[in-house]
Chain A
């Protein structure tokens, strides 16, 4: 069974700080997703990656396939970044399909002004 572990579970930081959220998984994957969920809100896909690094605005996602590890970085953090960040992976054995998607429990991020 694929396990997805995120760390930290909770993170409080000051506005402007550089934020790192980590995700580790236990089996080979075809894709990894980073999702964002604002309090009381829906879930939005931030990144989908299977190798290397992706950047969108102040957000950067990296993945190391050999180490089975991914990180989500937020530069120049802002209170509007406060949300739950969720890592999800699709194992290789599922054929890469969405039917095998496994989710981490999420990292609850609070950015204080």
Chain B
């Protein structure tokens, strides 16, 4: 199993550009979430999904969109990037029977100029 994969690892965007961060898991996990990690702050959840077709907002959802068309994939879309979205983004998953360990992807370092 690859676990949780994320692409790309690094990316530089200009203000106003759009992009999609990809997240995929092959563990048949129901729960998937996106977090951002900024210096001096704990991980903050952006959006999450408990199953295909169901998504919900986390703590800091503004400027981000998600979709969950199947169990495996959970892309994060930035429609019009802003410098405040410069961050490291992590996708995480866990199984359907809580509590279970969380599995994190390797992260995407995004810079918005």
The bracket for how many chain B residues form the interface is 20 to 34
> B99 near A103 (CB under 8 angstroms)?
no
> B41 near A105 (CB under 8 angstroms)?
yes
Given contacts A97-B50, A103-B42, contact A90 B105 (CB under 8 A): no
Q: Is B104 an interface residue (CB 8 A)?
A: yes
Question: Roughly how many angstroms separate A97 CA and B97 CA in the complex, as a whole number?
Answer: 9
Question: Roughly how many angstroms separate A4 CA and B41 CA in the complex, as a whole number?
Answer: 12
> B43 near A90 (CB under 8 angstroms)?
no
B100 partner residues in chain A, CB cutoff 8 A:
48, 98
Question: Roughly how many angstroms separate A99 CA and B33 CA in the complex, as a whole number?
Answer: 8
Q: Is A96 an interface residue (CB 8 A)?
A: yes
Question: Roughly how many angstroms separate A86 CA and B106 CA in the complex, as a whole number?
Answer: 16
**Chain B stretch 64-113: residues in CB contact (< 8 A) with chain A:** 90, 92, 94, 98-107
Closest residue of chain A to B42, judged by CB?
A: A103
CB<8 Å pairs between A and B, sample of 19:
A30-B99, A33-B102, A41-B106, A42-B90, A43-B104, A45-B101, A45-B103, A45-B104, A95-B98, A96-B98, A97-B31, A97-B50, A97-B98, A98-B33, A98-B94, A98-B100, A103-B43, A104-B42, A106-B42
Chain A residues within 8 Å of B, Cβ to Cβ: 4, 30-31, 33, 35, 41-45, 48, 50, 86, 88, 90, 95-99, 101-106
Chain B residues within 8 Å of A, Cβ to Cβ: 31, 33, 40-45, 48, 50, 56, 90, 92, 94, 98-107
